[in-house]
Amino acid sequence: MINILANDGISNSGVEALKNSGFNIITTNVAQEQLESYINKENISVILVRSATTIRKDLIDKCPCLKIIGRGGVGMDNIDVDYARSKNIHVINTPAASSGSVAELVFAHLYSGVRFLHESNRAMPLEGDTNFKKLKKSYSKGVELRGKTIGIIGFGRIGRETAKIALGVGMNVIAHDKFLESANIKLEFIGNKSIDFNIKISKFEDLLKKSDFISLHVPAQKDYVIGKNEFSKMKDGVGIINAARGGVINESELVSALESGKVSFAGLDTFENEPKPEIQLLMNSKISLTPHIGAATNEAQDRIGIELAEQISYLLN
């Protein structure tokens, strides 16, 4: 029987789909430093990971029994993909399964920012019964998203799902993507109704200058996408969201931009130093914070599990 280790967990629907295909699925979480020993001892043919476990060259070399490495999600920067494939190991992921979940989290952060929810949720338990009127005054200058412009950097699956929500809210959408000139997206509604939109791809500098809010949807980068120079070109009071990857925004420059008022608020789901984000980010009242949960919805994890199971069954049967 083929043994599959889902080291960072997998949904029940994924487990059932793999069992139904005749595989033995193990959901034990093995510590990174013990992976090599465990994989070889248990004769693991397939390892499934999310963002917590890394699969690097040395592990690949020491585990000749591996046939498939699966990533439950989009980015595969925690896997030495090219090297694994050079060793005839299949590397698979689920790029479409969690797109909608990440996009919804972007808007959770946006609404939190424009209505000060991240601040009021901290203050109300402490002062709600003693300073209610003062807090009401403090958080009474919110703004609406409707009619504002959102700039989306990176217009792949998640960027497009973000654009769909923005269009539904009534926002103007501009996008930048190095690999596209234009993009068509279909906004679907209940009752089999839909509207098609053509989104023109803007120059990077134009997006920085024109956007009221900016959301990043790019893979891990060697250099910052947003740094001091980019912040200087943005509108005063811009809001910025990063639910993509840590390291695409220069975090120290972000803090400076928040302190100066250039950026009115930020929403961060990913950080340069995971799992220990910088304390200056965690303590900043202008930042809405989540612990890298973009894809962490029940629906997305069900889709991820089933999609991985289908790909594994196809490759091994």
- State the average pLDDT over residues 264-280: 97
pLDDT tens digit sequence for 142-182: 999 999 999 999 999 999 999 999 999 999 999 999 999 88
| Closest by CA position to 152, among listed 272, 220, 240, 270 | 240
Three-state SS letters, 200-231 = EECCHHHHHHHCCEEEECCCCCCCCCECHHHH
What band does 317 get if pLDDT is binned at 50, 70 and 90? confident
Q: Which residue has the tokens 């789909």?
A: 17
3-state DSSP call for residue 174? Answer: strand
pLDDT tens digit sequence for 7-52: 999 999 999 999 999 999 999 999 999 999 999 999 999 999 998 8
Please say whether the beta carbons of 62 and 89 come within 8 A. no
What band does 200 get if pLDDT is binned at 50, 70 and 90? confident
pLDDT tens digit sequence for 244-255: 999 999 999 999
- State the average pLDDT over residues 308-312: 96
What's the farthest any 2 CA atoms get from each other in the chain? 66
pLDDT tens digit sequence for 109-153: 999 999 999 999 999 999 999 999 999 999 999 999 999 999 999
At 274 the pLDDT is 92
At 163 the pLDDT is 98
| Closest by CA position to 226, among listed 151, 287, 163 | 151
CATH 3.40.50.720 in the chain: give the residue spans.
Answer: 3-97+298-316, 99-289
Supply the pTM of this predicted model. 0.91
| Percent of the chain residues topping a pLDDT of 90 | 96
- State the average pLDDT over residues 62-75: 95
| Closest by CA position to 39, among listed 10, 18, 67, 76 | 67
At 147 the pLDDT is 98
CATH architecture of 99-289: 3-Layer(aba) Sandwich (3.40)
At 244 the pLDDT is 96
At 51 the pLDDT is 86
At 41 the pLDDT is 97
Active site residues: 245, 274, 292
3-state SS of the chain: helix, strand, coil percent to 5?
40, 20, 40
Question: What distance, in Å, lies between the first and last C-alpha atoms of the chain?
Answer: 12
Domain 3-97+298-316, CATH 3.40.50.720 — does that match?
A: yes
Report the b/e string of 259-288 with b at 16+ CB within 10 A. eeebbbbbbbbbbbeeeebeeebeebebbb
Q: Which amino acid, 244?
A: A
- State the average pLDDT over residues 187-207: 96
| Closest by CA position to 92, among listed 30, 36, 49, 28 | 49
Q: Where are the beta strands (DSSP E) in 83-211?
A: 90-93, 149-153, 172-176, 182-189, 193-200
At 74 the pLDDT is 86
Backbone angles phi, psi at 99, to 5 degrees: -55, -45
At 238 the pLDDT is 98
